[in-house]
Structure 1
Amino acid sequence: MTRPLPRSSQPARRFAVVGAGMAGVACARTLAQAGHAVTMFEQALRPGGRTTAQESPCGSFDAGAQYFTVRDARFQRALDTVPGLCRPWSATTVRVLDAAGRVAAAAPPPGEPHWVATPAMDALVRTWAEPLAQAGQLLARTAVTRIERDSLRPGGWQVRTETLEGATQVHAGFDAVLLALPAPQAQALLEQSALAAPWGPALAGVDIAPCWTLMLGFAQAVRPGLTTLGPQWNAARSTHHRIAWLARESSKPGRSQVERWTVQASPAWSREHLQDDAARVQAKLLKAFSEVTGIRAVPTHSEVRRWSYAQTQSPLGRPFLWDAATGLGACGDWCLGHRLEDAFVSGLELALAAA
């Protein structure tokens, strides 16, 4: 992904990429390598999207994406440009649990490697975004609030932005605007911009479930000397009505050895309790965590994070959305599924189509 791509025979163009998760960074980097001018806008403090790590006194948590797999040769070639950054996670003790928290069946070792970036999941996206940041092409802490036609350049685009500090600005001169956002957010931005993209109606059919995530740290327990706290497995897909996934963060390579767990609520439970008070959600998920793992110790660190758009339930069914006549496009994992690789492929293919 760091190798320069062959320059297009077409003149260089200017692109605005909205969102700096995996899809946005893959898209922006591909366009930049093809010789185009790119400005990437990200409302969060730094790039990462759903790979964002949450820091705590006990160590970091992969609050969103837990691991990734590699099935597309293009993704593998991109990973080869950052050797050693990602390492296999041997979570071969994954179990399927029943609603009472008992081990119902042992899952066989996964048929494909599970990979994690080090020292946290967002390291991969942040590393790929760094050249753009150094070139001044990544504007973090900057939300795009409106997309509109360029007032000085017919056929072009400009975007209005607002920083976390409240400063507003207009960025003009773009040939195309590419939305690397969850489908509902892309749809909302088009609506508040009073724009009707030709592919806009396709967004309505995409369903992305929310997710409440609980992060627990036990400073009194440090691996690998730990032998008594919790189960022997390091990850589980659960059938408990509240919990869909649990992972021992300290079992992942390159992490702090302080015992830490990430607990992700099920899509159905997260939808039902999406607007609940965070403290209430934390208490309910902590109770469910104890039921599933048998860990009754009081955590020294506990917090929750709500992801409004976490896991695609009904994908678009094609890699990206693009209309050459208007210069508007969209990409994201939701185009193909919910895997991190889906986001990469979507961003890459949109860039190749738009370039």
Structure 2
Amino acid sequence: MQIAIVGAGIAGLACAEWLRDAHHSTTLFDKARGAGGRMSTRRTTTPRGDIAFDHGATHFTARSREFRSLVDQWHMQGLAAPWPVAGAHAWVGTPSMNAPLKAQADTHDVRWSSPVTALTRDGPNWWVHIEAERHGPYDAIVVAIPSEQAAPLLSLHDFDMARAAMSVRSHPSWTAMYLFAKPIEIFPDFIRGVGPITYAVRNSAKPARAPGETWVVQADWAWSEKHLTRDPALVCDLLLSALGEAGGTAMPEPLHADAHRWLFSQPSGRDPALLWNRDIRLGACGDWLSHGFVEYAWQSGNALGQAIVG
């Protein structure tokens, strides 16, 4: 079959891997400029040169047998490394969080900077619409994007799938990124759940990272919703103060500070589900079907790929 996948994050790529191994042809469409999704990395110019910040997931777990097998392959390829500071099953991509997904995406036909606006059917054929352009025909469609974005695409074709997507609410999250002139020695490399901070991570302490004192601070969803429309510069100031309060110290002025607002960061959660309509060959996968973690997102895409292959 010729199959289109909307979304080239870890769920979409996991599904594509199964389909390719079964000799189906896949094309992935993603609105982003490059691989990452929940495992995104931002590269930015600072007074110390170009710096990479893992501003998506700070780490990921590998507890299930199948996902651990994949992560072990990434490890052997130099694309991932354990990071026990964050927990017994914690891993990070190397040299950046999005490295494993970049390597996977490079082996597939991925159309970046391609926001899908509609899906239509013409008899047995599916078509993918990107603004005024129509791509296809395809034999099947997989929707692997956040629930809020998936619902409109699904609603004209499978109301049960659309209702499942509409029942999930994703909470936002602010992430702040800092570069400091000197190491902040009073802090551990990983801080969890202090005040409004979900995670504060010395990004430069992860395996295979470039030198320099870089930090990523993620706010919890309640704080992020309260400050949803704030200017990023103010968010940087507020989270820097929160980081100082967590360590009981005054924070130095950063050489660089930036903030990113994730609107669909934390799905409200539901029981893991498999959404595949074999009659019209339409499926959906993603972390919103499995409580919003990297490993669960992969499991969702992997399970859908198996179901399509049969």
Shorter-chain TM-score category? over 0.9
Q: Kindly indicate whether the alpha-carbon contact (under 8 Å) linking 1:14 and 1:38 is maintained by their aligned counterparts in 2.
A: yes
Does residue 59 of structure 2 align to residue 67 of structure 1?
yes
Partner of 2:167: 205
Shift of 1:42: 0.8
Partner of 2:117: 145
Shift of 1:78: 1.8
What is the RMSD computed on CA atoms of the aligned residues?
A: 1.7
What SS does structure 2 have at the residue aligned with 1:74?
helix
- Match runs of 1:131-170 below 5 Å: 131-132=107-108, 137-150=109-122, 154-162=123-131, 168-170=132-134
Shift of 1:74: 1.2
Partner of 2:38: 50
Task: Say which of 168, 176, 198 aligns to 1:214.
Answer: 176
Q: Residues 187, 24 of structure 1: CA spacing in aligned structure 2 closer, same or farther, 3 A cutoff?
A: same
Number of residue-to-residue matches in the alignment:
302
Task: Say which of 49, 70, 73 aligns to 1:78.
Answer: 70
- List runs of 5+ in structure 2 lacking aligned partners: none
CA distance in 2 between partners of 1:180 and 1:32 (Å): 16
Larger Rg: 1
- Match runs of 1:166-315 below 5 Å: 168-191=132-155, 194-218=156-180, 220-221=181-182, 226=183, 229-240=184-195, 242-293=196-247, 294-315=249-270
Give the TM-score normalised by the residue count of structure 2: 0.92
Runs of 4+ in 1 over 6 A off after TM superposition: none
Identical residues among aligned pairs (%): 35
- Match runs of 1:331-346 below 5 Å: 331-346=285-300
Task: Say which of 91, 103, 124 aligns to 1:127.
Answer: 103
Q: Which amino acid aligns with 1:246?
A: A
Q: Deviations for 1:23-82, whole angstroms, at most 9, x for unmatched residues?
A: 011111211111001110011111211111011335211101111111111112222333
Higher mean C-alpha displacement, 283-292 vs 35-44: 283-292
CA distance in 1 between partners of 2:4 and 2:13 (Å): 12
Shift of 1:312: 2.4
What SS does structure 1 have at the residue aligned with 2:116?
strand
CA distance in 2 between partners of 1:324 and 1:195 (Å): 12
Q: Which amino acid aligns with 2:66?
A: R
CA distance in 1 between partners of 2:101 and 2:263 (Å): 21
Shift of 1:190: 3.3
Q: Kindly indicate whether the alpha-carbon contact (under 8 Å) linking 2:18 and 2:302 is maintained by their aligned counterparts in 1.
A: yes
Give the TM-score normalised by the residue count of structure 1: 0.81
Q: Kindly indicate whether the alpha-carbon contact (under 8 Å) linking 1:198 and 1:323 is maintained by their aligned counterparts in 2.
A: no
CA distance in 2 between partners of 1:181 and 1:256 (Å): 31
- List runs of 5+ in structure 1 lacking aligned partners: 1-12, 93-109, 163-167
Question: Larger helix proportion, structure 1 or 2?
Answer: 2
CA distance in 1 between partners of 2:13 and 2:52 (Å): 22
